[in-house]
Structure 1
Amino acid sequence: MRREFLKAMLVSPWLVPESRSLQSALLVGNAYIASFARTDASPQGLITSNSDFFVRNHFRTPQISSDSWNLVVDGLVSVPLKLSYSDLLLANSVRRPATMECAGNTSGGIGVGNAVWTGIPLADVLKQAGAKAAATAVILHGADSGTGEGVPANTHFARAIPLERAMDASSLLAYEMNGSPLPADHGFPLRALVAGWYGMDSVKWLTRIELTSQPFEGYFQQQYYVALQANGERRPITRMLVNSKFLRPSDGEEIGTKTYRVEGVAWAGERKIAKVEFRASSGAAWQTATLAAQSAPLTWNSWSYDWHVPSAGKYTLEVRAFDEEGRTQPDVRDPGRQDAYELNTPHRITITVRL
């Protein structure tokens, strides 16, 4: 329903990058862009190409020259910094794979991808600046700005994360994606990577890192990315939940073989995937799928199951994953939720078997 609503609001298709199909673009008003490639991975590889990686922008993509760009680090620091693009490229770098998921990704949706990110640890910059004892949070400010329905004029996108999370080794200032400079839609020249947390905290087109001791009252911190209960309770959206999806077959596909290798991916944010289960009809017993490799946190793992098809007909296939602490995907969405985030019920697809 949410996806169809967003499609209905498509009013300015020219805002979508030319390399992407207009049919893959979602736009609300003239400020919010969510453009998704139709194929975000293949069963033969775990890395999503830059061209196939989903895009979720809140405003128009800013055009930034690395020659004139600077990163400011200020607030509750002992030594305020102003770093150039060259400064970052000369610093000690790390390279790691990480899965990123949009907080509004639907079950089995295409708002998720896995890339290899290169950059410098955010902790290195914070240590260089010297966080003062009173600092408790880091505000990540992006260059993108604009307005929209309910959004104050000239609002810049910004998100705050706890200082402790910013100091974690998995938090990067990334300037490369899959071995190439960040594409413009993915944050060139620099973006944050808060691996294991939903994608809105991996702020793109980063221009300022501000340390603070106060709760951040930014629009996209208080009005967006909040879990809402019917009783009025609110909590921030942060860590990615355990999730999984099919890569093959696809929904609506017809197959014509009695043995079919079903394949997909599973991820659990900061935790490892412990198990993936598959079944071919609602109410049937769950079967354990095979994981392709030893699971690691922060990145997805591929899985497969050799399904022996009992007969021709229509089947509803389901998949669910478990993390190392036993958390799994709920069979149904919490009916008390009033928001459209953290959608991680089992991925279900319908296929036809013709033998």
Structure 2
Amino acid sequence: MKPTIIPFLTTRKLNPENQETPIHFLPQTITLKEYFFIRNHFEYPTQTQEAYFLPIVGEVIRPIIFKLEDIMRMPSKHLMLPLECSGNNRAFFHPKVYGEQWEDGAISQGLWKGVPLKDLLALIGLKRTALEVVFEAYDYGKRMDLEGDFHFARSLPIQKALHPDTLIAYELNGKPIPFKHGYPLRLIVPQWYAMASIKWVKRIVVIDHLFKGPFQEIDYNYYPYKDSDKGKTPVAQINVSSIIQQPQSYSILDNGKHVVEGIAWTGTGVIIEVEVSTDGGESWHKAILGQEQSHLYSWTFWKYDWKVSSKGEYLIMSRARDSFGNIQPFKAKWNRKGYGYNAVYTVKVKVE
């Protein structure tokens, strides 16, 4: 019996802990918790289930403090979806940008269970003045660019907060959310980059103005110019994207048949097509999707059977298209904080 080969996370930083999923070696639809990518801004917080309460205050009619067991008794729903760090693939921007040098493993897919946020807000009632919903996390620390301590906090516009699939989640893959991934409650925002899906939710505040916290106003914005804030726009929906899991770049292959395979996902609609080029983009061929089109929110696996008879070096590319007509560009839109990279995925291989 052959021994089981177990992949490892790729460490980008130890404190705060930031780890990449071994995305090229995971064929499962659901990422096991052991391989789920980890993105932190600060050290891990400290809180216990016994002391856990969730206040919802602000522009509401009946402010309330929910107990964890109150939330878990409410009608719930399951959603399978990927969480992707907005800095995923940052290392591939040219010119290079500062920040955590994520390659392609800052993405994982899980099965989340929780209560729609709109149901909690319906119980307490929103005032007409409600404009945004702010989520404050338990983790906090210092920033190099500002004085004082800051909790990680971000807001959602009221329309997104009231979307029926925006969840206050308490389970991942059928079990309580692991501590490193937000236990006991995590906000899950489908089709948005993972900075919106705040871990360790401490409190929720409904406000009548635009939230100006540093993780909203400074970070998680696209800045198209190196030395100017002109054209600044917020990071929100996930860009359509794909990766080639196998073969990996700089692999040496033999003549014959090979399977080029990977994953595709999007933040708008569903994946309807993946194309593969084995000649550096000169010609494109349709890959076979894992299903006719991806399920709403979830990624889809794809494969392309490649028969190669000539020795030499080959540039293999993949590009995905979604139901809104979005397609991966040959070059990602450069921005100085390195968010939203989604250029055509490319690997270089040699056939001997």
TM-score w.r.t. length of structure 2: 0.89
Partner of 1:309: 308
| Aligned partner (choices 41, 58, 80) of residue 63 of structure 2 | 80
Contact 1:289 1:303 in 2 (8 A): yes
Partner of 1:57: 40
| 1:297 maps onto 2:299 in alignment | no
The SS at the match of 2:142 is strand
Contact 2:82 2:298 in 1 (8 A): yes
| Aligned partner (choices 251, 256, 259) of residue 258 of structure 1 | 256
The SS at the match of 1:220 is helix
Partner of 2:279: 281
Partner of 2:197: 202
By how many angstroms is 1:338 displaced? Answer: 2.8
Partner of 1:101: 84
TM-score w.r.t. length of structure 1: 0.88
| 1:268 maps onto 2:251 in alignment | no
Residues 176, 260 of structure 1: CA spacing in aligned structure 2 closer, same or farther, 3 A cutoff?
A: same
For structure 1, which segment, 102-111 or 72-81, has the greater mean C-alpha deviation from structure 2 after superposition?
Answer: 102-111
Contact 2:186 2:199 in 1 (8 A): yes
The alignment-based identity, stated in percent, is 32
By how many angstroms is 1:254 displaced? Answer: 2.5
By how many angstroms is 1:23 displaced? Answer: 5.2
**Residues in 1 aligned to 2:29 and 2:272: alpha-carbon distance in whole angstroms:** 17
Cα RMSD (Å) = 1.9
**Residues in 2 aligned to 1:301 and 1:151: alpha-carbon distance in whole angstroms:** 41
For residues 1-20 of structure 1, what are the structure 2 equivalents within 5 Å? none
Runs of 5+ consecutive residues of structure 1 not aligned to the other structure: 1-18
Contact 2:264 2:271 in 1 (8 A): yes
Contact 1:136 1:163 in 2 (8 A): yes
**Residues in 2 aligned to 1:334 and 1:50: alpha-carbon distance in whole angstroms:** 32
**Residues in 1 aligned to 2:330 and 2:141: alpha-carbon distance in whole angstroms:** 39
**Residues in 1 aligned to 2:118 and 2:199: alpha-carbon distance in whole angstroms:** 18
For residues 173-212 of structure 1, what are the structure 2 equivalents within 5 Å? 173-212=168-207
Residues 305, 40 of structure 1: CA spacing in aligned structure 2 closer, same or farther, 3 A cutoff?
A: closer
By how many angstroms is 1:265 displaced? Answer: 0.7
Runs of 5+ consecutive residues of structure 2 not aligned to the other structure: 1-5, 93-102
**Residues in 2 aligned to 1:113 and 1:210: alpha-carbon distance in whole angstroms:** 29
| 1:24 maps onto 2:6 in alignment | no
Residues 352, 224 of structure 1: CA spacing in aligned structure 2 closer, same or farther, 3 A cutoff?
A: same
**Residues in 2 aligned to 1:151 and 1:35: alpha-carbon distance in whole angstroms:** 26
Contact 2:86 2:193 in 1 (8 A): yes
Residues 61, 20 of structure 1: CA spacing in aligned structure 2 closer, same or farther, 3 A cutoff?
A: farther
By how many angstroms is 1:177 displaced? Answer: 0.6
**Residues in 1 aligned to 2:9 and 2:118: alpha-carbon distance in whole angstroms:** 39
By how many angstroms is 1:257 displaced? Answer: 4.8
Residues 41, 171 of structure 1: CA spacing in aligned structure 2 closer, same or farther, 3 A cutoff?
A: farther
**Residues in 1 aligned to 2:142 and 2:55: alpha-carbon distance in whole angstroms:** 24
**Residues in 1 aligned to 2:19 and 2:7: alpha-carbon distance in whole angstroms:** 8
| 1:131 maps onto 2:126 in alignment | yes
- Code of the residue aligned with 1:305 in structure 2: it is Y
Partner of 2:73: 90
Partner of 1:152: 147
**Residues in 1 aligned to 2:313 and 2:194: alpha-carbon distance in whole angstroms:** 36
Contact 1:269 1:299 in 2 (8 A): no
By how many angstroms is 1:344 displaced? Answer: 0.4
